[in-house]
Amino acid sequence: MHKRKQNPMTTPEIANVRRRNNEGLDLVNQLPNAVLSQIISSLSIDKTLRSSVLSKRWKPLWKHTPCLDFDVRHMFNPLSQLNNPFPKRVSFDPIKHAEVYDQIVRQVLHLNLGDLISCRFRYFRENIFVDDVEKWIEFFITKKGLSCLDLECERLIEEVDFKPKIFSNLYSLKLTNYRLDSEAPLAFESCEKLRILKLKKMIMEDETINGILDNCLCLEKFSLIDSSGFKKLKIMNMSLKYLELQFLMISELDVFVENLQVAMLNYLICPPKGLRIFTPKINSFYYTCNAAFQTV
């Protein structure tokens, strides 16, 4: 006779697990709506919207979230094919998908009922050619009081022109995958409120990057990562406290920041004679050195 297999969990044990799960759900449901909205705000927009089906109480919570994350990789299925080197045969129309993306953004924007603290866009390059991006930015900043903005194009844009002073009311700004021309510093005029600026995978000439820094005199944290096109970089923002430079190839680097406290210089290809750094109040200095390439 074959012995019947015993269930590894007895009935009382299963009941205890269910009871603990129910207690956990009860604890979550006891949180105020403001806290639940804050939790939801850490999710991408697709997951944020899905939270509305959990219960009647959860249905309107996403409309009050202070942070939104619009990422094309998660918003609808065909977009997941973009980063696949061997995609399946799917009909991908970038213009059509950009239009759908814009429709989703606009719908969510107008349904959101509260003020926004931060917003992240990872969008199609086609969106910027029809001025979708500038319309989103203006709506968020003027209507929603946005203070933190993260813009990333899914592919490098040949050239982009932002309107003058468009970033003037922001506290934090991150740009990824842009080629900026000599007119770009105009978008950073009157940026007295801007404290955090992160530029990644950018292409800019000397006058562009240095012009941007000249217009952001109140910066406290500046990061420049994996960017090219410029040879001379001058950082002389007196209020700067944190500086991060990574994966850059330059001929001259001038850092004259009296109040700088933290500096991170990793994988910089620069001749030793071109390095001029004056930071008398620095507390922490991190660097990666590769003598073979005269790299700091």
What are the pLDDT digits (tens) for 53-90? 666 777 777 777 888 888 877 665 433 333 443 344 44
**Token digits for 29?**
């449901």
Starting at the edge strand found earlier in the chain, the sheet holding 232-235 runs: 232-235, 252-256, 275-278
- Is residue 202 pLDDT above 90, yes or no? yes
- The 10s digit of each residue's pLDDT in 139-188 is 888 888 899 999 998 888 777 788 899 999 999 999 999 999 999 999 99
CATH number of the domain to which 180 belongs:
3.80.10
Q: How far apart are CA 263 and CA 277, in angstroms?
A: 11
Which secondary-structure segment (H or E) carries 235? Answer: strand 232-235
Total count of domains within the chain: 1
For residue 189, being part of any structural domain is answered with yes
| CA distances (Å), origin 66, targets 34, 36, 51, 53 | 10, 11, 15, 20
Integer-rounded Cα Rg, in Å, for the chain is 24
For residue 52, being part of any structural domain is answered with yes
Which secondary-structure segment (H or E) carries 269? Answer: strand 262-269
For residue 23, being part of any structural domain is answered with no
Q: How far apart are CA 129 and CA 160, in angstroms?
A: 8
The answer to whether 226 and 249 are in contact (CB under 8 A) is no
Name the β-bridge partners of 48. Answer: none
Sign of the alpha-carbon torsion through 126, 127, 130, 131:
negative
For residue 280, being part of any structural domain is answered with no
282 pLDDT tier (thresholds 50, 70, 90) = very high
| CA distances (Å), origin 262, targets 90, 195, 245, 257, 282 | 48, 15, 11, 11, 6
pTM confidence score: 0.78
Q: How far apart are CA 118 and CA 150, in angstroms?
A: 8
- The 10s digit of each residue's pLDDT in 85-94 is 334 444 557 7
The per-residue pLDDT for 18 is: 52
Sign of the alpha-carbon torsion through 105, 196, 187, 274:
negative
Question: Could you tell me the residue range of the domain that residue 40 belongs to?
Answer: 32-83+90-250
- Summary mean pLDDT of the chain: 80
For residue 285, being part of any structural domain is answered with no
| CA distances (Å), origin 149, targets 15, 60, 118, 138, 292 | 47, 24, 6, 11, 39
For residue 44, being part of any structural domain is answered with yes
For residue 200, being part of any structural domain is answered with yes
Q: How far apart are CA 20 and CA 26, in angstroms?
A: 10
For residue 160, being part of any structural domain is answered with yes
The answer to whether 153 and 128 are in contact (CB under 8 A) is yes
